[in-house]
Structure 1
Amino acid sequence: MDQNEKKKKKKQLPMRLNVLFLTVFILFSALILRLGIVQIVEGDMYEQQTEETENIVTKSDTPRGKIFDEMGNIIVDNSPVFNLTYTALQTDSHAKKLEIAEKLAKMIDKDTSKITERDKKDFYIITRGQQTLVDQKFTAQELEEIKSKHEEVKDADREIYTLLLERITEKDLAEIADNELEILAIKREMDRGFALSPQVIKEDLNKKEIAVISENLSELSGIDIHADAARISPYEDSVAAIIGTTKQIPKEQQDFYAVRGYDLNDYVGTSGLELQYETLLNGVKEKKKYITNKSGEPISEPEILAGESGKDLVLTLNMQFQQQLEQAVEQEILKFRGAGVDSAYAVVLDARTGGVLAMVGKKYEGGTFKNEMYGTYLYAFRPGSSIKGATILTGYEHEVLSTGEVIYDRPLHFGGTTIKKSYGGRSLGHINDIKALERSSNIYMDYIGMRIAGFDFDRYQCTIQNCTSETNLEIAINKMRSSFQQFGLGAPTGLDLPYESIGYNSGKPNAIGHPMDFSIGQFDTYTPMQLAQYASTIANNGYRLQVHLLKEVRESRPDEELGKLLYRFEPTVLNQIKVDQKYIDRVKQGFYQVTHGSQGTATALRSYPVAGKTGTAQEEKNGRPVVNEVFIGYSPYDNPEISFSIMVPKMHTEVPVNRTIAEHVLKIYENLKTTPYEVNSGIDNKETQKIEEVEETGEELQ
């Protein structure tokens, strides 16, 4: 390399270094400028972002769905109310809450009945000073011993507080004045809430309270007046028992609802339809999403996610039918009070769908009527001869009875037991299955019970080994129970309420007379709802339909009109009884003869197109023999639209109150048919059904 080239390279090197230094200088200048902008101009924004700790979502209630009857009349609605609410910040102390509660106590009246002893003790400690009370109720040595037991100070403090609660006496609590109890009641509600979630302090404020609080809201941090809705019903006296109630989530169910997205201070259905269809009626809450700083204070306006009102329910109940039948039942109870009648139950079903049109329970007590609507599905009674249709078909199912078989009805004598006989003790002579239903023969049914148990009375011998042993008697009773369950007797009806009785099983038989007692309705017990389903099963040629109250689910509307249809309950066949149609036809003919035959036991109803069966059962009340009067039936007999049951329990004297109430059912229904009256399409009873497969067709509600 020559000298010229070397000199040229030496000159280029400083120039490159200068360019490099200049570039670095420019880059550092830009970096310093950017840091200055970040620190000076945008510093507050980034500082705020670094303090953000979490997103908090709060929820606001939306109106529960309304409930309508089948004609579109509102049964349950929402009435606007104004509630006092408190929304706590995460940083709110007991002292701050106490200060607010003291102010509110001067503005509202607050119920103090829910205050517990523990509430009072906590309040006493807060208001009297924890340290002051500790100094009064502990010696220095005690405190030292407690502190020496624990490595962590908080553990020692926890033990001291627990012991302090135990040492607060009734005399101490008596120092809490009445006005302080109101303060406590208010603070108690404030403590139940969660951060940034409105907690109801008092429901349904009056106008004066609203005015006073509104004037002082600036002094009441976190306090607001919240528009809400209370459940009301124009038919509360009639249907309150099945509609049910809404309350704050019970403690024992908090885990159940928490995993389903509920807040622990939410109101939910706790009984009846409000509980059964909680997920439909409750709706979706409005949500507000907050971003908070380290202190738990919101640092921006919340993001709002709109809520949705609960769905509306349309029931199968017809409130016009319901109320007229209630009046009729009360009228008949008063008419027959002299015979010891003090209660009665009636159920009317749509025979084509299984829908409950009316369910009435009335009890006369203390000079007034008590609504026992729930008795129609929770109370069980001996049904007497009303179940003899099921007995006849059970005999055919187990092949102990031949078509139209004639049996000689006369008193049956058993050694050491009560004589078995038909009503009045007289002989009814030679009768077949249809005549046995028309005249309500006990002996005909006794033969069926004996034969299923393996006993031949005419030869007075067993047809199977050891037929009178307890084991074989139990087998016989269980066979009959299994057959009866096909009709819904001793089985769930499918009624869509949280609880339903399936009747009372009278236990193991220990005498040959027990299968006979079972065959005439003098052993197990059933509810009026089960008896109505049994009547429906006969009316529907052996197809048992699920009993239900829900007819439709609809979108909610702000007015009193029905919204868009979302779901309609379809008739659901639970099972088909295991006998040929020719046997069912004979029972239906027997039921027709009960009301229209020359010797029928309910010919007082012959002017109506009704078929059915009467029943009288013996029970006891306060150690005294009493009777239940029963009637089950369906109408019209040639193409049934309704089925029904009447139960008048524990009367002193037999009177025809069962038939007079049945007449009211038929008369009310006929009158309603002259007005617009919708009956859902369902099973056509006019001809024998050709259903190839028995299956549930109802769509499951989630």
Structure 2
Amino acid sequence: MPRARIIVLKVIMVIMLLAIAWKLFDLQIIKGSRYLEVANDRLTTNVTEKAPRGEITDRYGVPLVTNEVAYSVVLQQAGQSDAELNAVIKRVIDVLYAEGCQYNDSLPITFAPYAFAFSDENGDGSSEDEKTAWFDGNEYTDDEITRDMSASDVLNAYKTIYGITGDYSEDDARRIAGIRYEAEKRGFSQVSPFVLADNVTVGAVAKIKERSDDFKGVSISNTYVRNYEKPGVATHILGRIGRINEEEYSELADDGYGMNDMIGKQGVEKWAEGYLRGIDGTSGTLTRTGNDEISVGEGIDPVPGDSVMLTIDTRLQEAAEKSLENSIKSISARGGSDDKDGGDCNAGAAVVIDIKTGDALALASYPSYDMSRFDEDYQSLVENTSQPMWNRAVSGLYSPGSTFKPLVAIAALETGNLGIGEIIVDEGIYTVYDDYQPTCWIWSESNMTQTHGPLDVSGAIENSCNYFFYEVGHRIGISTIDEYAAMFGLGEYTGIELSEESKGAVASPEYKKSVVRNFTSQDWYDGDTLQAAIGQSYSLFTPVQLANYAATIANGGTHYKVNLIKSIRSSVDGSLVKEAVPTVMDSVQMDGSVLTAVKNGMRRVVDEGSAAAVFTDYPIPIGGKTGTAQVGEGSNNAVFIAYAPFDDPQIAVSVVLEHGVRGANAANVARDIFDCYFTNNRVLAAYTAQATQQPQTQSQPAAQPTARPSQLLP
């Protein structure tokens, strides 16, 4: 190719490149601001139509959590300047306040006089670590904001960042800053609107729509809020939902979650989030030109979340909750100001389990709260030292006290370290070890004048003889105790569908090492084993573990997973998505004679022992065991496990009353639960009929048939 032609082609290419460069410069620099203004004035956004969450029912289909249609105020980035955006937010605030509505604001600064408002989220008694974490995660720290700033200085920094100037009052400026802060946290942008307020009144909606010209970038969205059909019932089980936080969003963004989404935070709402959450739809696209909105394009219908059926019996749950509250208040009133006689009793839990399936029929925790008032009551709930938001039924850890003795008896009998008819004589003081000589409780309480004398294993369980179980613990050792505890599910996760469940712990050298400083292998003492054998030492179990342990004894040794979710079904066509089946976690091999001896001891606890006064003339035979567990300060904890009917068990119960003084006090709650369960139950009718057919004596007249077992009680 001639050289001249090549030169011509190069010149043409240079001219073309210069022309393209000039056009880009003209579009982006010279006319860029004008085009940006036009683009901002004409925004197209997908309009999300929220899917309702799945409903939650009890085992019989009784609705517990449903949905209600509600309205949200949504703020969209429509090219407003800071001044325009702040003015719009102020107008929205005025409407919300007039209508008594709340708005979304998590800026941790109070209104004047300004102070930081961090919560002690980790329960260490201080909010300083939460404050440090907030500064660490703040994008403005070390620039506009410094760590040594006061709350007032931080607020002023945010006013500068968000351009909050003009004639705003202190309160209004704080409100605007809080909303701008929250919007920024939630990724507010042209393509990501911000939910400014949830569940606003119809009046607020009307005022905003009537004055749409004053609310540029503000729209009303239809959404759903949770409706609690039985406010205050099963609160800890159901849990709550809340706005997604940054940590949750980082984990769930790939699953289609947005920064404005509501997700399960606790309870079943959290565990079943993947099922309860529906699939959002769209109402089409929203094109905004100036203040005009035009909806165009076809929408996609939302898909409701799946429905969750619990194993819970609402009637039984309500009875357990009511009895817990009444019993705790009664013990506290009797104890008065005495912190050794129950005056400090203020909390507890009760659990009911179907012994043939592992289904949880009730999980009660006291104190509780009303989920429908959570937002209004949040601050008082956080500050309440009784921790009403804590689910004690699955998270509380308690020494089992003497309720642990049936397990120790089974371990000794099954390993051949104790004979079925073997007699051990209670001598008051256990003197096997020179350096540790504990006493039986009756020896101490009688001022060293009484013992239980000779006892077999059934009698030892009935009388809760510490001396007997010191000897048994000495014979079998801590390793065997730990082995059997694990088989019964104590100190192990039960498998219940609640993320709040605690594992607990069984007393052992390994566990002691984890909680005691400067521990060496020589620091597990003989006395530790003896205390473990009577349910003290380092053993800590949850009420749900104790109930499942009682169920395993009652059914002859089958240790089931605890179920809380009975089934999950599609809300669209009712098809079965998931169904719980009885799942065996372990099988405890027990000879028939061993089981009979231990169960007879538990029967005698209720008929003749420490729980006899509670169950006098009760029409249905029961097996149980009381426990009185010593705690560091205050009155002893009261613990009780039981199952019924004795000869054909259906349910097992555990009750723990914090500072409830003695196990018999916890037995009162179990009695109320049995009352409720056997009301209108054919088992009650059969036992009542049997009682009326037995020969009557002058000293003990036969009980008359009745609809409620409690009416047969003194």
Same fold (TM over 0.5): yes
Aligned to 2:418: 401
Aligned to 1:179: 172
User: Structure 1, residues 168-202: CA drift from partner, whole Å, max 9, x if none?
Assistant: 88778597633344444455555543444543121
Q: CA deviation at 1:116?
A: 6.1
CA contact (8 A) 2:271 2:499 kept: yes
Q: CA deviation at 1:282?
A: 0.8
Give the partner amino acid of 1:213: I
Instruction: Select which of 315, 318, 331 maps to 1:336.
Output: 331
1:325-404 maps to which residues of 2 (within 5 A)?
Answer: 325-337=320-332, 338-339=334-335, 340-341=341-342, 342=345, 343-362=347-366, 371=388, 374-404=391-421
1:293-692 maps to which residues of 2 (within 5 A)?
Answer: 301-337=296-332, 338-339=334-335, 340-341=341-342, 342=345, 343-362=347-366, 371=388, 374-411=391-428, 412-413=430-431, 414-421=433-440, 423-424=442-443, 426-453=450-477, 477-505=478-506, 507=512, 510-523=524-537, 524-556=539-571, 563-596=574-607, 602=612, 604-605=614-615, 607=618, 608-621=620-633, 626-651=635-660, 654=662, 656-671=664-679, 673=681
User: Structure 1, residues 517-538: CA drift from partner, whole Å, max 9, x if none?
Assistant: 1111122122221110100111
CA contact (8 A) 1:404 1:434 kept: no
Q: CA deviation at 1:584?
A: 2.6
1:61-460 maps to which residues of 2 (within 5 A)?
Answer: 61-88=50-77, 94=82, 97-98=85-86, 100-101=88-89, 103-109=91-97, 111=103, 114-115=106-107, 177=169, 178-188=171-181, 191=184, 192=186, 193-218=188-213, 220-287=215-282, 301-337=296-332, 338-339=334-335, 340-341=341-342, 342=345, 343-362=347-366, 371=388, 374-411=391-428, 412-413=430-431, 414-421=433-440, 423-424=442-443, 426-453=450-477
Give the partner amino acid of 1:520: I
CA contact (8 A) 2:56 2:63 kept: yes
CA contact (8 A) 2:75 2:196 kept: yes
SS of the equivalent of 2:255 reads coil
Give the partner amino acid of 1:415: D
CA distance in 2, matches of 1:422, 1:574: 35
CA contact (8 A) 2:49 2:223 kept: no
1:17-96 maps to which residues of 2 (within 5 A)?
Answer: 59-88=48-77, 94=82
SS of the equivalent of 2:409 reads helix
CA distance in 2, matches of 1:170, 1:525: 46
Which sections of structure 1, spanning at least 5 residues, go unmatched? 1-50, 121-158, 454-476, 677-702
Give the partner amino acid of 1:595: V
CA distance in 1, matches of 2:683, 2:416: 47
User: Structure 1, residues 478-501: CA drift from partner, whole Å, max 9, x if none?
Assistant: 432221111121111112111212
SS of the equivalent of 1:644 reads strand
Q: CA deviation at 1:363?
A: 5.1
Q: CA deviation at 1:319?
A: 2.0
Q: Percent identity?
A: 26
Q: 1:422 to 1:71 in 2, by over 3 A?
A: same
CA distance in 2, matches of 1:501, 1:169: 39
Q: CA deviation at 1:582?
A: 4.0
CA distance in 2, matches of 1:108, 1:371: 30
Q: CA deviation at 1:160?
A: 13
Give the partner amino acid of 1:61: K
SS of the equivalent of 2:632 reads strand
**Structure 1 stretch displaced more, 260-269 or 572-581:** 572-581
SS of the equivalent of 1:238 reads coil
Q: CA deviation at 1:280?
A: 0.7
Computing the radius of gyration from Cα coordinates, the structure with the larger value is 1
SS of the equivalent of 2:568 reads strand
**Structure 1 stretch displaced more, 540-549 or 579-588:** 579-588
Task: Give the aligned length.
Answer: 551
CA distance in 2, matches of 1:170, 1:549: 46
SS of the equivalent of 2:232 reads helix
**Structure 1 stretch displaced more, 543-552 or 102-111:** 102-111
Q: CA deviation at 1:345?
A: 2.4
CA distance in 2, matches of 1:360, 1:169: 44
CA distance in 2, matches of 1:277, 1:182: 35
CA distance in 2, matches of 1:517, 1:102: 65
Structure-2-length-normalised TM-score: 0.68
Give the partner amino acid of 1:618: Q
SS of the equivalent of 2:654 reads strand
User: Structure 1, residues 22-70: CA drift from partner, whole Å, max 9, x if none?
Assistant: xxxxxxxxxxxxxxxxxxxxxxxxxxxxx9xx99866432111111122
CA distance in 1, matches of 2:154, 2:667: 65
CA distance in 2, matches of 1:588, 1:638: 10
CA distance in 2, matches of 1:629, 1:115: 43
CA distance in 2, matches of 1:547, 1:308: 31
CA distance in 1, matches of 2:658, 2:177: 50
Q: CA deviation at 1:540?
A: 1.6
Structure-1-length-normalised TM-score: 0.69
Q: CA deviation at 1:311?
A: 1.1
Q: 1:649 to 1:182 in 2, by over 3 A?
A: closer
Q: CA deviation at 1:627?
A: 2.3
CA distance in 2, matches of 1:646, 1:408: 31
CA distance in 1, matches of 2:144, 2:321: 58
CA contact (8 A) 1:55 1:289 kept: no
Give the partner amino acid of 1:179: D
CA contact (8 A) 1:407 1:431 kept: yes
Give the partner amino acid of 1:279: G
Which sections of structure 2, spanning at least 5 residues, go unmatched? 1-38, 113-138, 336-340, 369-380, 445-449, 514-522, 685-714
Aligned to 1:15: none
Q: 1:170 to 1:602 in 2, by over 3 A?
A: closer
Aligned to 1:5: none
